[in-house]
Amino acid sequence: MSGAILSVEGLSSGYGAATVVREVSLQVAPGEVLVLLGKNGMGKSTLLRTIMGYLRPHAGRICVGATDVTGEPVHRRAAHGVSYAPQERALFQDLSVRDNLRLGLSKDRDFEQALGRVRRAFPFLAERLAQPAGTLSGGEQKMLLVARALMTAPRLVLVDEVTEGLQPSVVDRLATVLRRAAAEERRAILLVEQHVHFALSVADRYAVLKLGTIVATGSTRDPDAQAVIESQLRV
């Protein structure tokens, strides 16, 4: 894919000697959402953690734009414009919303400008900057994770199962924010999901991961996309 923000080629990774992700190749372009679907334990989160740099790959290559970042640490990938909203609530519970958002920035002087992006996406967060993050509801904490990932105006956003356990109104809000980040702000988004309806409503393309290997890909606009995905998730 010419001009891709993320290019993953033949990537294998895992934990110690155990290989979880096997020879995965994918690309995500500016303004595009690629959703990676699969059951629990199929390697989706492992793949995101490897792309972000938390895990060292066993084989393969990861490029952000034209830069090979395969051997670079997490902070260098962040400097290349990669951000990450993890599945777990990776917030500092005793710190305020403001301080948690600041963690997404390398320079405090950029905070007010970045807060404008948060205010547009999640207005309620901008009204609760002094509130401890741990006192937010589960859905609000998920939105704070996504807001923090968007603080740096990243080129690439990695989002891991953001809808898990959330009520429909929160899911709808997150869908709107992610679509806008891609379509209007031209961010490339790699989204890990299990919920097919949400995935199809947000993404441009899909890939299904099974036992660490991509077994199906296509456009979410294909008339048989849902049937293909669900058939792969059943077996």
pLDDT of 43: 94
Q: Which helix (H) or strand (E) holds 180?
A: helix 168-183
pLDDT of 27: 97
How do residues 94-151 score in pLDDT, each as one tens digit? 999 999 999 878 777 778 888 888 888 899 998 999 999 999 998 899 999 999 999 8
Quick one: CA dihedral 143, 70, 61, 58, positive or negative? negative
The C-alpha angle with vertex 82 and arms to 122 and 11, in degrees rounded to 5, equals: 130
Domains in the chain, ordered, with CATH? 6-90+154-234 (3.40.50.300)
pLDDT of 136: 92
pLDDT of 217: 97
* Angstrom distance (rounded) from CA 190 to CA 6: 9
How do residues 202-211 score in pLDDT, each as one tens digit? 999 999 999 9
pLDDT of 2: 57
Q: Which helix (H) or strand (E) holds 99?
A: helix 97-102
DSSP state of 109: G
pLDDT of 209: 96
Q: Token pair for residue 52?
A: 């972000």
pLDDT of 226: 95
* Angstrom distance (rounded) from CA 169 to CA 183: 21
Q: Mean pLDDT by 10-residue block, N- to C-terminus, for the chain (235 residues)?
A: 88 95 97 96 95 96 97 94 86 93 80 87 92 92 92 94 86 92 95 92 96 96 95 87
Instruction: Give pTM, 2 decimals.
Output: 0.93
